[in-house]
Chain A
Amino acid sequence: MSDRPLILVVDDDPDLVESVSMKLESNDFRVAKAYDGIEAWDRIREEKPNLVLLDVMMPRKDGYELCREIKDDSAFKDIVVVLLTAVAENVKSSKYTHQDGKSTSADDYIAKPIDLDKLMAVVRENLEL
């Protein structure tokens, strides 16, 4: 059972977390949930997920900050971080510009609105499944 990858979904919108989680679970992933950056840290420490789906705009601690902290922490830096960003659709964003020019240490990103099928593909690709 526990060899199935654990995905932590972090977004301040519970409905989005629910939808994403349902999709992940239906694809045989285990899911942990958090609704802001601080809570996300607790989940990360307790459950050490394989991958974090991280919303950028969140109260208390935003996604960029949390991502930096994860990557700066030697115990957790191997966790794959995928940012959920709100960029204009139908523009092919180059990797280095995808969050309005802010460079982050995230492994990948998915633009909102999230296409759940695309999301699954990105998750699999980043977990090398």
Chain B
Amino acid sequence: MKDAATSQNLRGPAILVIDDEERIRNGCQKVLAQEGFEVETAESGEIGLKMIAEKYYDIILLDLMMPSLSGFDVLSRVKTLHPDAVIIVISGYATVEFSIEAMKKGAFDFIPKPFMPDQLRLLVTKAIEYTRALKDIANEKSRMRVLINNLTDGVLAVDTQKRVVLANPAFLKMLRHEGEEAVGLSVEELCGGSRIEALVESALSMPEDQFEEYGEELVRGDAAGVPEAVLSARCVPFRDRAGRNVGAITVLHDITVQKKMEQIKSDFVSMVSHEVRSPLNSVLAQLHVITDGLAGEVTPKQMEILGRASEKIKSLLSLSTELLDLARIESGLMALEKERVNPAEIVEDQTAFHEAAAREKQITIRLAPLPELPTVVVNRRNLEEVLSNLIVNAIKYTPEGGQVDVCASTDEKYLKISVRDNGIGISPEDQERVFAPFYRIKNEKTRYTIGTGLGLAIVKSLVEVHGGFIRLQSEAEKGSTFSAYFPLSE
């Protein structure tokens, strides 16, 4: 079977000549066989039809004037059997009208008798090109149909009258359209009640010199109107060769699962926020009440144990805070309420705020005289957090007696805020990794430093959601400089 199919594909076009005149049959066969075509002949309409019923011929040369069955009858029967077959009518002297009639009935062309071999060759070659083009179109059509029908995204094509010319099964399923054929319906009839009609309308009325995609999220409710699916709809016009809008394509993508995941993530974040942090906060207060002696006398040993317990709870709390911050930033849940702020004020505030902690370690924290700084549009709290985290880190990783310098400057594009320390520094291999969540540099110098390994990851995320970036310069034993760049304009 496979071999037969292959040879069927590889063979040249099969031609059948139906004519009652032996001279014509033989002449045609001879000329066309020379061209390498496979040519068969039939001396009457009846025999010809019998052969056509058994085998597919690409091209049929058909005499219109035959004694018993006329060429017209053969023509109409062939058109029913093989609509794609190309029929060339051979006609005698006085039958030009007949030939034209035959072409109206679906013949491809006609050739008057008597004809020269070249005329025949030319016409058959033309017919072959035509059949090839037809096949290509048919293949292309079939390929497109299979492709579109198997997409999991819904596809809808409409004409300028907003009538459906194509709606794939996924589209119909997404809109819960059952039964009735969709092609020919208006968009309103097919997608009634959804926003698709409006999208199609905007796409169809798009000026020709413009190309835009209209998108919207649609929520589909079930029978009772309860939302059960979220669909992302995108709509674009399609144009003819002259650039005129001839219709619009709408693509639907089911984003229900994605939306649910976002919701779950958001719920999770607030659940953790409340359900985990609240009890920890409360335990901390309880420990405080006990160590205050409000619940009876406490021995020094008990004091010490409760003190350590409090520290553990505190670090758990800051871990959960940082985890939540990171989750919020990364999921995009953190609504960035931006405002125009004066960076100098924030830099001064944060530096002053951390002075006490620095003093405890005999670290000097200095703010370099600030140049004239333009205002920036940022989320104020985020900017505060970035700076605060950098200062806390600098204090943490600088030995007693060290120094931390904060400075701020601008160039044409960015506000740059730097925190420099003369602490333990970061080795080149660690420099690449310090911004990764949970990464902490472990060596004998950092062993007693407490931290979650999330601070710099948060700083990096916060700076990046503002369209900025962070830079690190560091040398082991000498110190580190972290610089956060915030874009000046939106």
Contact = CB atoms under 8 A, between A and B. Distances in A.
Interface string B81-113: 000000000000000000000000000000000
B465 to A, nearest CB: 15
Interface string B306-337: 00000001100110011001000000000001
Contacts of B353: 92
B125 interface: no
A88 B294 contact: no
B96 to A, nearest CB: 88
A114 B354 CA distance: 19
A74 interface: no
A31 interface: no
Contacts of B284: 113-114
B285 interface: yes
B325 A88 contact: yes
A35 B145 CA distance: 64
B381 interface: yes
Interface in A45-74: 57
Chain B interface SS verdict (over half): helix
Given A92-B388, A100-B381, A19 B286 contact: yes
A2 interface: no
A93 B277 contact: no
Nearest to B313: A113
B381 A26 contact: no
Given A13-B279, A20-B285, A91 B384 contact: yes
B294 A22 contact: yes
Contacts of B274: 57
B385 A88 contact: yes
A18 B282 CA distance: 9
Contacts of A124: none
B385 A23 contact: no
A64 to B, nearest CB: 15
A23 to B, nearest CB: 6
Contact of B392 (A15, A22, A90): A90
Interface string A1-27: 000000000001101101110110010
A92 to B, nearest CB: 4
A125 interface: no
B289 A91 contact: no
Residues of B in contact with A, size category: 35 or more
Interface in A69-121: 86, 88-94, 96-97, 100-101, 112-116
Contact of B288 (A19, A88, A91): A19
Contact of B321 (A89, A93, A94, A115): A89
B280 interface: yes
Nearest to A12: B278
B289 A89 contact: no
A113 B285 CA distance: 8
B367 to A, nearest CB: 14
B385 A91 contact: yes
Interface in B253-286: 273-274, 277-286
Contacts of A26: 292, 294
Contacts of A92: 349-350, 353-354, 384, 388
A96 B379 CA distance: 12
B295 interface: yes
B466 interface: no
B293 to A, nearest CB: 9
Given A94-B349, A113-B314, A116-B289, A86 B273 contact: yes
Contact of A94 (B318, B337, B384): B384
Contact of B388 (A16, A22, A90, A97): A90
Q: With a 10 A CB-CB cut-off, give which of A18, A57, A89, A101 has the most chain B CB atoms.
A: A101
Nearest to A26: B294
B380 A23 contact: no
A76 to B, nearest CB: 27
A88 B388 CA distance: 11
Contact of A16 (B281, B337, B350): B281
A101 B314 CA distance: 25
B285 A116 contact: yes
A90 B313 CA distance: 16
Contacts of B288: 19, 23, 115-116
A15 B295 CA distance: 14
Contacts of A116: 285, 288-289, 292
B381 A101 contact: yes
Nearest to A15: B282
B381 A15 contact: no
A57 B270 CA distance: 10
A96 B322 CA distance: 22
Nearest to A20: B285
A20 B282 CA distance: 9
Interface of B: 273-274, 277-286, 288-289, 292, 294-295, 313-314, 317-318, 321-322, 325, 337, 346, 349-350, 353-354, 379-381, 384-385, 388, 392
Given A16-B285, A92-B349, 16 more contacts: A13-B278, A18-B286, A19-B282, A19-B285, A19-B288, A22-B289, A26-B292, A88-B318, A91-B385, A91-B388, A93-B381, A94-B346, A94-B349, A94-B384, A113-B313, A115-B288
17 contacts: A15-B286, A16-B278, A18-B286, A19-B288, A20-B285, A23-B285, A26-B292, A89-B317, A89-B318, A90-B388, A92-B349, A92-B353, A96-B380, A113-B314, A116-B285, A116-B289, A116-B292
Q: Closest 10 CB pairs between A and B?
A: A92-B353, A19-B285, A16-B282, A15-B282, A91-B388, A113-B281, A101-B337, A19-B289, A112-B281, A113-B284
